[in-house]
């Protein structure tokens, strides 16, 4: 009986470990997604900035 009682907390702790691992994995995925979004977003923003700068430069040159 005492062995079974000892196993019960072990089951709980392994479930806790599993939850911790899952939440850590989910957080890591979110961080990776966020980093990817930031990189893609910064590339898009940079392209947009360059285009607007190029366009304004061309307009000034044309004038």
pTM for the full predicted model: 0.42
**22-63 pLDDT tens trace:** 999 999 999 999 888 888 887 776 555 555 555 555 555 555
Residue 7 CA to residue 20 CA, distance in Å, equals 20
Chain centroid to Cα 10, Å, comes to: 32
Structure tokens at 10: 């072990």
Structure tokens at 17: 């470990």
List, in sequence order, the alpha helices (H) in the chain.
2-62
């Amino acid at each position: 009986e005492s062995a079974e009682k000892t196993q019960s907390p072990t089951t709980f702790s392994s479930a806790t470990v599993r939850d911790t691992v899952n939440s850590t994995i989910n957080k890591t995925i979110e961080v990776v997604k966020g980093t990817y979004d930031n990189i893609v977003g910064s590339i898009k923003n940079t392209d947009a900035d360059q285009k607007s700068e190029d366009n304004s430069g061309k307009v000034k040159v044309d004038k």
